[in-house]
Amino acid sequence: DAKTTQPTSMDCAEGRAANLPCNHSTISGNEYVYWYRQIHSQGPQYIIHGLKNNETNEMASLIITEDRKSSTLILPHATLRDTAVYYCIAVAGNKLTFGGGTRVLVKP
Amino acid sequence: EAQVTQNPRYLITVTGKKLTVTCSQNMNHEYMSWYRQDPGLGLRQIYYSMNVEVTDKGDVPEGYKVSRKEKRNFPLILESPSPNQTSLYFCASSLLAGVYNSPLHFGNGTRLTVT
């Protein structure tokens, strides 16, 4: 699976959109981009995934660049409960490797 | 309610005393997996199973055993626990064995301390 690179941490304001970047420059054509988040020490929670096209669900939007070398997770209206570690993962096989993620702090 | 259930949530044990952490899912998922999470090392996969009687090693399998005799259960066995296995453990499941297009559902974790 391709390695992903994310900022270590970022802050965002409550009520504003949070844009979380992820680089995956070595991603292969059959690798999906997944986003999970982990609130404190709870089990990671699935957010969204995509292959080529942009995706949107009730939690977030995923924007994948045309060359698929990077993506952005968008939380449209961040709330305090969105404070968590967000993981971007490239997945092709049956093994998922979680990196360090981005620690997101939503501030009032 | 669809969920992955791990037991126990907290466990303190001594070196060498065999233990089992249970994991059960009620979603008829094909794929199940165990992870451990340690500060600074993130989530690392221990074992995974693509279906009944099919298991395979993840990135850190040493010191662990698993079995998948039934679709819903995937216990993690530590035959002779050591202090370096002190960690936070997560079980996860996915509908499809081809997990690349099938999200993982995680349990709430088991915090294990080996003294």
Tens of pLDDT, residue by residue over A15-48, are: 999 999 999 998 888 889 999 999 988 999 999 9
* Proportion of chain A above pLDDT 90, given as a percent: 79
- Check: CB of residue A14 under 8 Å from CB of residue A79: yes
- How high is the pLDDT of residue B102? 86
Nearest to B92 by CA among B12, B1, B5: B5
Mark yes or no for CB contact A43/B100 under 8 Å. no
Count of beta carbons in the 10 Å neighbourhood of residue A82: 19
pLDDT at B64 over 90: yes
Closest CA to B78 of B64, B91, B61, B90: B64
What is the structure's pLDDT at A1? Answer: 64
Q: Which residue of A has its CA nearest to B41?
A: A100
Chain B residues with CB under 8 Å of A45 CB are: 106
**Taking an 8 Å Cβ-Cβ cutoff, which residues of chain B contact chain A?**
4, 31, 33, 35, 37, 42-45, 48, 50, 56, 58-59, 88, 90, 92, 97-101, 103-109, 111
Give A-chain residues touching B113 at CB under 8 angstroms: none
pLDDT 10s digits, A57-104: 999 999 999 999 999 999 999 999 999 999 999 887 777 778 889 999
Interchain contact, B100 vs A30, CB within 8 Å:
yes
Tell me the DSSP string of A19-76. EEEEE-TT--TTPEEEEEEE-TTSPPEEEEEESSS-EE-SS-EEEE-TTSSEEEEEES
Residue B99 has pLDDT above 70, yes or no: no
